Structure formats: structure tokens, C-alpha cells
Structure 1
């Protein structure tokens, strides 16, 4: 639930594809991926489809800033959406995970980000105190 600006190209493309799949799941258009634990965050919202749509809107904006050709027609018009809570422990976990990936696949981006101690969350997220989500596979 990090801000999409931190992602490298591969990460941003994957987030767009996976987000569209999550949207299809929440719309009841696919049977795959239905038990993915991160969907619980969106299912808990008053309007799950609206929430994932708003989430993807910010991914779309980041893609546009990088001149990617994400298809905005895959999204619904963005409605006002309440912020979604994410724990600071989860943000910290995801940040370390991203830095580890970037260290091997994009050293330049890694170098530019590794001095950040507290990364920004995705604009749809509200950071609250707490631990890593229990569904994370921490090994």
C-alpha cells in the first residue's frame, strides 16, 4: 500500500495488472484470485468496487506521469471514496520488501530510495499504528 511513485517499471505494470484483476474479482467477473488476502482490505469498504477503482486511479496517474499507456477505459469514473486504513507496520514491511526487490532489479531506483526512512502510503490510504497484517507470509 505504498505510493506507486516508488515502484520501478516492472512493479508499476504488475500493480496495474493485478489491480485490474482485483477489480474483476470484486465485480464478480472472474473466479480466480477470489481468496487473495489483500482483497479483504477492499471488501471491508462500503463500496468495494469504488474503492479498488479509486486505488487504481492513482496507479493510472503514476503511469501517465511516466508516459505509460494504461487504458483509463478499464476504470469507472472516480467517485469520492473514504480513505482506507493501513498500519505503519504494514507500510514498513512493504517498504523493506520493495527495497530488496529494487536492490537486485533496479539499482538506480534503489539508490535513490534507500535513504527514505518513512515512505508515503498510497494516496487512498490512511496510515494508523499497528503491526504487519497477519496474512503476510513473513519468512
Structure 2
């Protein structure tokens, strides 16, 4: 499961659609509708949020907006709490840097054209749910 801290505009088709599916799974886990993935480390930051369900709903809504901008149709009716105003989740600049390098490596393999459009970006934007703070890679991250 990869719930990217990066803004979804950087993701390729596979990253965006995979992120949507994985965030829907995270939503199901947080709502207690599935027994799988309950201990997944990517869920730590959502569980720590004052309103985990609304936070994952906000996360999903931005993915759906990006998909619409690209001409894809993600079923927004699957979002349990769409558009709820929620406090932002802190993410470290070390985590953002780690995810950026991880994404660039994935794009080098599966979408070199998209990779080329991202050259020169040294400080990527993050998903609007997140707020960048100084720090190392997050403790919950499992390096690949």
C-alpha cells in the first residue's frame, strides 16, 4: 500500500489509479469493514488524525479531482466522507524526499515520458492534506 504524500499531479496513470484503490482499501480498514491490512504502516498517520475517516475522505477527494482533470472517472460515491474540512497531517521533508526519489525510480521503469516532464523539480508539492515539517524519513516508512 502506498498512500503518497506527494501531490497526485506527479503520479503516472498506474500511480494514480493504484493510489485510488489503495486509499479506498485504507478507508475500509479505518471504517472496520475489512480485516486485511489493519497493521499496515501507511495507516499510522491517518489513525493519529483526530478524524481518520474524514482525513482519508479528503485524501481520496483530491485523487478524484486529479483523475477528473485527466479525463478519468473515479466513482466519488465510494468516498465515505467527501469534502470534510480536516486539520492537515504533518509529513517530514525527509519523507517527501524519500517518496520523490521512490516515484522517480518507478517512473524510470514504467513511464520515462512522464519522468522527463518532472526533471528539474527539486521540491515537489505535497498532497493538500499534508503540511511539510522538517525531519527525517517517517518512522512508519518501510524502505524498499
Normalised to the residue count of structure 2, the TM-score between the two structures is: 0.93
Residue 112 (structure 2) aligns with: 107
Partner of 2:68 in structure 1? 64
- Structure 1 segments, 4+ long, off by >4 Å, are none
* Structure 2 residue ranges without an equivalent (≥5): none
Cα drift, residue 78 of structure 1: 1.6
Spell out the pairing of 1:1-139 with structure 2 (5 A cutoff).
Answer: 1-75=5-79, 76-138=81-143
Q: State whether residues 44 and 140 of structure 2, in contact with CA within 8 Å, keep that contact through their aligned partners in structure 1.
A: no
Unaligned runs of 5+ in 1: none
Q: Using the alignment, how far apart are the partners of 1:116 and 1:69 within structure 2?
A: 28
Q: What is the Cα-based RMSD across aligned positions, in Å?
A: 0.9
Query: How many pairs were matched up?
Result: 139
The CA distance in 2 between the partners of 1:110 and 1:131, in whole Å, is 25
The whole-number CA distance in structure 1 between the counterparts of 2:111 and 2:82 is 34
